Amino acid sequence: MRRWAPEHVWIEQGEEDSPIARRVRESLAGVPMTVTGDLRQAEPGKDRFATGKRRLVLQRHHGSFLQHCPAGTPGLVCCNYLVVDLVSNCPYDCSYCFLQDYLANNPAMKAFTNPGDALAEIDAVLRAHPERDFRIGTGELADSLALDPLTGLTGELVPFFARHRNATLELKTKSDCVDNLLHLDPKGRVVVSWSVNATAICAEDEAGTASLSERLAAARQVQAAGYRLGFHFDPLIEHPGWEEGYRDTVAMIAAAVDARRIAWISLGSLRLTPTLRTAMRARPTPTQVLSAELVPSPDGKARVWRGLRMKMYRTIQGYLREAFPNAPTYLCMEPAAVWQNVRGEAPSDREVAARLAAGVAR
């Protein structure tokens, strides 16, 4: 897989000697860099979203880092996940990515230069609630590892979480950028997880990402280095041959990793806001993703219609149960009625969270 490098780096004045800025400067010798007090210079002009992915802005983050996962929508079963945004935007170009819509007005790739403030904020929360078991991820507004070869952020994150007994860090990625992880000891507190899909979707709709084989080769490496693994079949996309496609992906995972090291596996159907759908239609090449049988759901997002969605969940869950009978699985952003129909149970948010925490401790 080709490593991403920006065409230009902007550094906020005063942050040029931050550890992240130093590491980026060392990694990107030869790439033009501008230190500026006015980051508006870094804003892409024409073709904003595509241009934004080719530049990197290093700046301080102001305000809170830690948020509840936005998947926790009323009416849907939630896994009580927290997200911390240390990077904003992603160098990859998945056709279905919600960032096309979510970051449309703020599309520059940003890495925040004050991750220490984020860790202090997390530390305070963990100390305030020693009885709780937190799962915290960095892969909401960014790929957790795509920029790690430049920023070296995992060198701060992994030791921090390794020191805490009531939290698990999840690094969620479509990359194979795991080199920095291999010499760190996660002490059982870090799950490295991969978003996976049918190979036809990976090949046609996930531009710039590692191939499925490359992702699984990286999973083997981190598993050998002591990390737990997670897999997210999200978004599941209905396309011709989806049954075979997802069956083959499950088989590839089973052949690549030790099932006992899997902390969790999620299933989530494609969901599109109306504005994301518009952004996807405006892409230069029509995507097969929009050809799924998508209809409006009660929350306003388009999803594959419920009967077909449940068929997909049941089918893929069947493959997973056969391959990984002991791995905790869950549905993302689905109402209790769909859980009941698919799994014969409708657990509370707290139960789901407890099961996933147990998946780490297993």
Instruction: Catalog residues that contact other proteins under the rule CB under 8 A.
Output: 239-240, 281-282, 286-288, 290-291, 293, 295-298, 305-308, 310-311, 314, 337, 341
3-state class (DSSP) for residue 243: helix
Side chain identity at 272, as an amino acid letter?
L
By C-beta, is 225 or 310 nearer to other proteins? 310
As measured in angstroms, the least distance from the Cβ of 349 to other proteins is 21
H or E, element range at 135 = strand 134-137
Of 300, 341, 356, 303, the residue nearest 74 (C-alpha)? 300
As measured in angstroms, the least distance from the Cβ of 307 to other proteins is 5
As measured in angstroms, the least distance from the Cβ of 184 to other proteins is 43
By C-beta, is 260 or 314 nearer to other proteins? 314
As measured in angstroms, the least distance from the Cβ of 104 to other proteins is 15
CA 19, CA 62: separation in Å to the nearest integer?
A: 18
As measured in angstroms, the least distance from the Cβ of 331 to other proteins is 15
By C-beta, is 45 or 284 nearer to other proteins? 284
By C-beta, is 228 or 271 nearer to other proteins? 271
CA 311, CA 151: separation in Å to the nearest integer?
A: 42
By C-beta, is 211 or 288 nearer to other proteins? 288
Strand order in the sheet with 190-196: 66-68, 82-84, 134-137, 167-173, 190-196, 228-236, 262-269, 329-331
CB 235 within 8 A of CB 96: yes
Instruction: Report CA torsion sign: 103, 109, 110, 115.
Output: positive
The encoded tokens of residue 171 equal: 């690094």
By C-beta, is 67 or 341 nearer to other proteins? 341
As measured in angstroms, the least distance from the Cβ of 341 to other proteins is 6
The encoded tokens of residue 255 equal: 């052949």
